[in-house]
Chain A
Amino acid sequence: MTLEKKQALVLIAEDDREMRSLLCDELFDLGVSIREAADGDEALRSVLDRRPSLILTDLRMPAGGLDYIARLRTFAPGVPLVLITSFGDAQTKADALAMGVEAYFDKPVRISELKEAVRRLLGPALNGEID
């Protein structure tokens, strides 16, 4: 019996429409299905509705911030988190990593680097081998 191929699901949470659109376009190329959220609350609802394979999220957005990251961790344990923030300072980076964020990027980030991190974190799930 052939295993039904299940596409990896990536949640993209970003309040800037153009940035979200860019991220969607780039990650779509990786062959993942994508859900979008425009603020922290929407992202949490999305996670509760369906657990994603990876979360790519902005930090500074409505209902965002480190509390929001902590809640994401609680609602979606084990889901890799990639955090992007505008010119973050050393403290923000340290706090985020302390919460177990898998990857941290300062905007502006090179998309190639970001895609590389996502690909690495999704690993086998990218090919739908594992849920």
Chain B
Amino acid sequence: MPERFEGIFEASKDAIGYAALDGTILLVNRAFSELTGFSREELLRMNARDLIPQQHKEQRDRVVAQVIQIGEPVEYAIDYLRKNGSQVSVYVTVFAVKGEDGKPTGLAAIVRNLTEPKRAEEQFRLVVESSPSGILMVDKSGTISLVNRQIEQQFGYERAELIGQPVEMLVPQHMRSHHAGDRAEFMAHSESRAMGKGRDLFGVRKDGTEFPLEIGLNPIQTPNGMRVLASVVDISDRKLAEQTLQKERDFIDAVLETAGALVVVLDQGGRILRFNRACEQTTGYSSEEVMGRHVWDLFIVPNEVEGVKAVFERLRGGEPRNDYENYWKGKDGALRRISWSNTVLRDSNGAVEYVVAAGLDITDFKQIQEQLRKTERIAELGTLASGMAHEIGTPMNVILGRAEYLLQRTADEGMKRGLTTIVTQIERITKVMNQLLAFARRKTPERRAVDLGEIVEDSLEMFQERIAHSRITVEKVIEAGLPPAHADRDQVLQVLINLVVNSLHAMPEGGRLRLSLARENNHLCLGVSDTGHGMPEEIRQKVFDPFFTTKEFGKGTGLGLTVVKGIVEEHGGTITVESVVGKGTTFWVRIPLGEAPPSQP
């Protein structure tokens, strides 16, 4: 053997030997010696068959015969006997060495120790087995070639039930065809990746139940072709936790979004993080518009900014909760009065992370309160008037009586005029007092079904003569077939008389008085219009206020419309007034139909 080949021969990690056709060993390298444990000298005295255990000798002889006969190399796995009596698995490539005539002259064998690859395989198996995820391997056709214990537990199958089976048995029925297609696709463009990107994946257990899972795919090359190693994680618990969390979020969202209260969450810097629907409705801003902005830059009126900031600082500085009341200015500039209850949310270190403010829009409440105060003032006025009437009745009577007494006893015309004035002025005071008392002493309406149209007719009849002597025309528009209203007949008549008198007073030069009656949902709407002088807005706003009058002193008591409003409201109705200077005025009275619940006196 040439020297340079000898070096390669000796350095080979595979054992290489050369034997005569009868098996006598003629040449071995160091690796052969290391593999078998026999020294080179010992081997050169041995036959190749001596290295084969008894039960495999026949197999070896068959292969050798084949090689000699056909002349092609043959590979086969077999065990070798070692000097210490143990056996070693080897993979042998045997071929014939031919002479110049082409006839075989000897046998050469390259012997590879299989124990090393087996150990690697064992380690791989251990790693796979101890993995916390399920691991399975499939070949190109989708047949399962390996599973670990986790897979058995996840899917409820014994290992033996899975090996050799198509992997689709682990895929729910409705996804199987899809899966097979995806698998083929993956094999064609294989790269390590997660399976089913953006889709929810499910596995099916032996008992038919399905569970959500996550799969990572790894293509690996093996001597037997490409395999896919899949790691499978059961994400039922995670899904459940996610669902629970989502459910909680949905719940909180639903509560926050449907609550009538305004809820705002601010970060440490006072920027808006959360702005519920009530906030949107109150301010006219959408949640998107205000996100990340400061409350005081958006909603707070200038003179309240300092106060709001101070409250915020107190919360941020550790005050666990406080209450505050301020205006919020909406997108349209409208101001709403909000009563806030503020609190803080802390992080795990106890530092203030968020400020949460829950507010109630008390604008309407304030208005009602104001209205109530007004009503109370009027009620007090009534009590006062009653008390006063008793006290001043007698002195007024003394003045009146003395004036009359003197009138009868004087012939002096100047004195008579003066005394007459005293009498008429006392009568005026009496009139005011009587009206005030009527207002103070008015009764709870005794309501029954009444025909308002009839009352309109009655009221007009009372003014027939007066209208006949004026240049006033009357227009009457009463809707046909109206249902009755639920009202006190006398009081409604009083309302009408008051309104008609006002209208007539507004048209000293004549004009048109229009009375209308129509149904409006569950109310009857009564309109009294004149084409008189009308009134400017500042007067229009005050017409229902007690003692407000535009009439010359002594002509009106300033209580007529206050009484009218009182009566209408006691009926659960409303009264409004529209007026245009120079054009006229219209009063609209709305009285409920049918059996309405009685209102408070």
Contact = CB atoms under 8 A, between A and B. Distances in A.
Contacts of B395: 16, 18
A18 B390 contact: no
Interface stretch (A41-49, A66-74, A75-83, A104-112): A104-112
Interface in A88-112: 89-90, 106-112
B430 A108 contact: yes
Contact of B393 (A87, A90, A112): A87
Given A106-B393, A108-B426, 13 more contacts: A16-B395, A19-B398, A22-B405, A26-B405, A86-B390, A86-B392, A86-B394, A87-B390, A87-B393, A108-B401, A109-B397, A111-B401, A111-B405
A43 to B, nearest CB: 16
Contact of A87 (B401, B426, B433): B433
B433 A111 contact: no
Report, as a range, how many residues of chain B touch the other chain. 20 to 34
Contacts of B397: 19, 22, 84, 86, 107-109
A131 interface: no
Contact of A18 (B386, B389, B398, B437): B398
B236 to A, nearest CB: 82
B394 A19 contact: yes
Contact of B434 (A16, A19, A84, A87): A87
Contacts, number: 63
B144 to A, nearest CB: 103
A19 B400 CA distance: 10
B515 to A, nearest CB: 29
B412 interface: no
B394 A111 contact: no
Contacts of B401: 19, 22-23, 26, 108-109, 111
Contacts of A60: 390
Contacts of A87: 386, 389-390, 393, 433-434, 437
8 contacts: A16-B394, A16-B398, A22-B398, A58-B394, A86-B394, A107-B396, A108-B397, A112-B404
A129 interface: no
A109 B398 CA distance: 9
Interface of B: 386, 389-402, 404-405, 426, 430, 433-434, 437, 441
A108 B405 contact: no
Given A22-B405, A86-B394, A87-B437, A108 B400 contact: yes
Contacts of B399: 108
4 smallest beta-carbon distances between A and B, as pairs: A86-B393, A87-B389, A107-B393, A108-B397
A23 B405 CA distance: 10
B437 to A, nearest CB: 6
Nearest to A115: B404
Contacts of B392: 86
Nearest to A84: B397
A108 B402 CA distance: 12
Contacts of B393: 85-87, 106-108
Nearest to B391: A86
B437 A89 contact: yes
A111 B437 contact: no
Contacts of A108: 393, 396-397, 399-401, 426, 430
A112 B403 CA distance: 11
A122 B495 CA distance: 42
Nearest to B441: A89
Interface string A13-44: 00010110011011000000000000000000
Nearest to A18: B398
Contacts of B404: 110-112
A20 B405 CA distance: 14
A86 B393 CA distance: 5
A56 to B, nearest CB: 13
A85 B390 CA distance: 8
Contact of B400 (A16, A89, A90, A110): A110
A19 B398 CA distance: 5
Nearest to A86: B393
B499 to A, nearest CB: 24
A42 B433 CA distance: 31
Between A26, A86, A108, the greatest number of chain B beta carbons within 10 A of the residue's beta carbon is seen for A108
Nearest to B398: A18
Contacts of B386: 87
A58 B401 CA distance: 15
A19 B405 CA distance: 12
